Structure 1
Amino acid sequence: MPGPLEGVRVLEFTEIIAGPVGGMFLADFGADVIKIEPPWGDPWRSTSPGQAGGPNESRGFIAVNRGKRSIRVDLTKPGGKSVVHKLVESADVIVLNHRPDVPAKLGIDYETLSAINPRIIYCEVTAYGRMGPNRELPGYDVIVQAMTGMMTSEGHDVDGLPRSVNVSPVSDMAAGYAIMMSVSAALYYRERTGKGQKIENSLLQNSLRMQQSSLTQLDDYPTPRQAWRAEDLPALKEAGVGFSDIYSAYREKRNNPEFAAYYQPYETSDWVISIGCLSNPLRQKMANALGVDDIRFEPGYDRESPESIKFAENLILTYRKVFLGKTTDEWMTILNDAGVPCGPMRFIEEMVYDEQALANGMIVETTHSIAGNTRGPGPLSNMSESPMEITRGAPAFGEHTNEILQEAGYSAAEVEALKGNEDVF
């Protein structure tokens, strides 16, 4: 597919979400991505929600594997290893996300593949990184969200227990972005130096980066929750206090709700509108537009005073009442005229036909050879000199085995021999 990475060939040994998303982004930017699957296929083909095109063509798989070609290879057999090593000779990038012990067993570890092609860029995603006590453990997004505090910070609870951010597997998606960015940087480095390299990334690393603000600690100026972690949490655990009580104490140690009223959704007379004011000039514009007197804009305002904190909490209730007095469209007109950032609440399913998204190429159509016409998010960027055009849908199970092998120099007879020996499928 056209794009700034046109001519770059990627061999992808990935499954489920994180690795496939990274490969999909590289394909969106123009790379030729070959998904090398085991005989049984990527488990996400059959275990993710929505069997749209048969037992091996799930909606979840189609969503994160757009733009690739698929070949099925048995890496446990010498013939399968030989095929992959031949493909590596002309490849630029390797992407994989197996447990740390798996690549060497399959003959696709960095040491083996870089010996075949020293210019190879080898990008590996693990759950927790190559060092440390958890380095050999398997892991998934829901586990990493729990381990990094994303769940307890989110405040989405069911029956008293934190639940994951489930609109999207945050750590997996972030790892996909990291793959694309890291590989692109490594390609640029190779362009300047001629050297390939190994890239290591992890779900843990990306889950932490997605919580950049909360994780940042100024040692001399701790947040209420950081102080609680250092002073109260160890004592509570030592005393055997249960999780639910500790979690409640943690939730109470929130930051000052100073300007929460200006950054949240409100119900209107007919729907819901969301407001986003992250500066005092914008907050002042909103207060003026709604005819509300906010004492925090007065000279001498003390943000930490009990009066100010109480006012901040009550202000949300005030705005809730005011917003109920008009329709969403009426508020959109009033707030847009006042220069206040706002937007109506929608469901994600509506966005497939959203006028704004369509006007900017944010929704594209592709064709799956079994499931048919597919709509989904467009490329991450629009580029003037190297425009991207997504023309290929997700691959059917082993759809391109013959095509890929013939491109690699295998004759039709040799391809049939490999299939007969079940080295490839």
Structure 2
Amino acid sequence: MPALDDLRVLDLTRVLGGPYCTMLLADLGADVVKIEPPGGDFVRETPPFHEDDDSFGGYFQSVNRGKRSLELDFTDETDREHFRSLVEEADVLVENYRVGTMEKFGLEYERLAEINPQLVYASMRGFGDPRTGESPKQHEPAFDLVAQALGGIMHLTGQEDGPPTKVGFGIGDIFTGVLHAVNILAAVHYRDRTGVGQFVDTAMYDAMISLAERAVYQYSYTGEVPKRQGNSHPTLFPYNAFEAADGYVVVAALGDNHWASLCEAMGRPEWVVDYPDARDRLEARDELRAAIGDWVADRTVDEVCSALGDDVPCAPVQTVADVYECEHAERREMLVESALPDAEGTVTIAGTPLKMTKTPPSPGERAPLLDEHRGELLETDPAADVEGVVEGDSGKVGVSDGGTPED
């Protein structure tokens, strides 16, 4: 029995952060119904595509697995009525439209709560919703890059003498999506105890400030704006990436025991006496970094990791190809196979990091074709649905309200 198999989620989100949130809920067993505007989530058309199947791209496949799809046009009263009928039986609704979009269609939280008082209505926007806190930016659009820039993430990322740099992956979307899932499950827990639903809200900008918590307290304690430090840490040493003969390796010898083991491996036992605690090592970081760098440079990545063994936290800097070859990723089922809709064979997507012993999550089935589940959700003629899927999935992608997605 999956942990959330009694939960019905209506997913109105698009692009990355919202779909990642609802994907986590689907992995945990929730029945996630992806409500798509005419033409569908425009990420369906985002490459890469499989050479044998262009039904949708890898981007869409990765974060929409295990969901069902229903295409609805909120400008049409019949479709709005279909949606309201689904709300009656739903536990959670998740959307990431701009503020005011759902109000245009008479489908805002207050009206839907009249239909279903137990509904947990979860909005995920760039700058939050007025119901939980006003912001002068609430009507502005936001994407991952905007959230990383505003939240201080870009300012602290990159080399000391280089420009601000975004994190390689969409943490403005994904971290917000993870927090949103926590927010939703907390509200569901409250609903289960009281019988009362509520409106919950997670803002991308807020999430980035939370993620940058170290910079927040540093500025408060010191009055100084933290600077970019590349791969090093402002208060811990050694904690850095070093270039070996054939790649890069990270070393994080923070504890005194780790430091002693590193000194022994390097043949520098005197360092244990000369730099006995973390403050001593931090003060001498420039000299020690150069010496450690020279030692690493004379060895391969494997030789460094072998020399440090299990006593010093260290690791090679891997590419995704290395992850594919990693025994850990295989044993922990972090690379899973997902079917293609219109071709034989499978593609590989990231597995779920959520692990349980009694109710183990599952990445579920492939992502759905557009409107694939209309028949079972609205009890219409399945034969007509198949025809509609083919036509709808090849049509031009659009957003019913003409708005900009929040993530």
- Relative CO higher for 1 or 2, CA cutoff 8 Å, sep ≥ 6? 2
Verify the 8 A CA contact 1:223 1:255 in the aligned structure 2: no
Structure-1 residue corresponding to 2:225 = 225
Query: Which residue does 2:402 correspond to in 1?
Result: none
2:321 paired residue number: 349
Q: Which residue of 2 aligns with 1:285?
A: 261
Q: Are 1:149 and 2:152 counterparts?
A: yes
Q: Is the 8 A contact 1:29 1:379 kept in 2?
A: no
Contact 1:257–1:312 (Cα < 8 Å) also in 2:
no
Aligned counterpart, 2:135: 132
Alignment partner, residue 275 of structure 1: 251
* Conserved? CA contact 1:258–1:312, under 8 Å: no
* Distance 1:255-1:29 versus aligned 2 partners, 3 A rule: closer
Of residues 148-157 and 392-401 in structure 1, the stretch that sits farther from structure 2 once superposed is 148-157
Find the counterpart in structure 2 of residue 39 from structure 1: 38
Question: Which letter maps to 1:393?
Answer: R
Check the 8 A contact 1:368/1:395 in 2, yes or no: no
Cα drift, residue 173 of structure 1: 0.3
Q: Secondary structure at the match of 1:264?
A: strand
Q: Deviations over 1:16-54 (max 9, x none)?
A: 1111111100000000000000112112112x3323376
CA–CA separation in structure 1 for the residues paired with 2:373 and 2:39: 15
The offset of 1:295, in angstroms, is 5.4
Structure 2 CA distance for partners of 1:302 and 1:186, relative to 1, 3 Å: closer
Q: How big is the shift at 1:225?
A: 2.2
Q: Which amino acid aligns with 1:133?
A: P
Structure-2 residue corresponding to 1:50: 48
Partners of 2:372 and 2:385 lie apart in 1 by 14
SS in structure 2 at match of 1:11: strand
Counterparts of 1:325 and 1:56 in 2: how far apart (Å)? Answer: 50
Q: TM-score, normalising length from structure 2?
A: 0.85
Structure 2 CA distance, aligned partners of 1:7 and 1:256? 44
SS of residue paired to 1:162: coil
Q: Report whether the alignment pairs 1:378 with 2:351.
A: yes
Q: Distance in 2 between matches of 1:193 and 1:314?
A: 60
Matches within 5 A, 1:109-188: 109-130=108-129, 131-155=134-158, 161-166=163-168, 168-188=169-189
When residues 345 and 99 of structure 1 are mapped into structure 2, their CA distance, relative to the original with a 3 A threshold, is: same
**Do structure 1's residue 195 and structure 2's residue 196 form an aligned pair?**
yes
**8 A contact 1:224–1:255 mirrored in 2:** no
5+ residue gaps in structure 2?
396-407
Aligned counterpart for 1:322 among listed residues 291, 295, 304 = 295
> Whole-Å Cα distance in 1 between the matches of residues 170 and 249 of structure 2?
26
Which sections of structure 1, spanning at least 5 residues, go unmatched?
A: 227-249
| 1:92 counterpart residue number | 91
- Corresponding residue SS for 2:366: coil
User: Taking structure 1 as reference, are residues 308 and 384 closer, same or farther at Cα in structure 2, changes over 3 Å only?
Assistant: closer
Q: Is residue 157–residue 163 contact of structure 1 (8 Å, CA) maintained in 2? A: no
How many residue pairs get aligned? The number is 383
- The answer on whether the counterparts of 2:336 and 2:350 sit within 8 Å (CA) in structure 1 is yes
Q: Which residue pairs with 1:215 in the alignment?
A: 216
Change (3 A) 1:115 1:400: same
Task: Identify the residue that residue 286 of structure 2 maps to in structure 1.
Answer: 313
Q: Could you say which structure has the larger radius of gyration?
A: 1
Distance 1:225 1:340 in 2: 31
**In 2 relative to 1, CA 349–405 (structure 1 residues): closer, same or farther, beyond 3 Å?**
farther
Give the 3 Å change call, closer, same or farther, for CA 56–319 of structure 1 in structure 2: same
CA deviations over 1:314-347 (Å, ceiling 9, x no partner): 221111111123333232222115x111122210
Q: Deviations over 1:368-387 (max 9, x none)?
A: 31365122222222211112
Q: Superposition RMSD on alpha carbons, in Å?
A: 3.1
Quickly say closer, same or farther: Cα 1:273–1:400, change in 2 above 3 A: same
Deviations 1:259-298 (A, max 9, x none): 44x2122233333322122323312321222123675854
Distance in 2 between residues matched to 1:300 and 1:276, nearest whole Å: 16
Judge conservation of contact 2:218–2:224 (CA < 8 Å) in 1: no
* Residue 405 of structure 2: aligned partner: none
Following the alignment from structure 2 to structure 1, what is the Cα–Cα distance between the partners of residues 149 and 208? Answer: 10
TM-score in terms of structure 1 length: 0.81
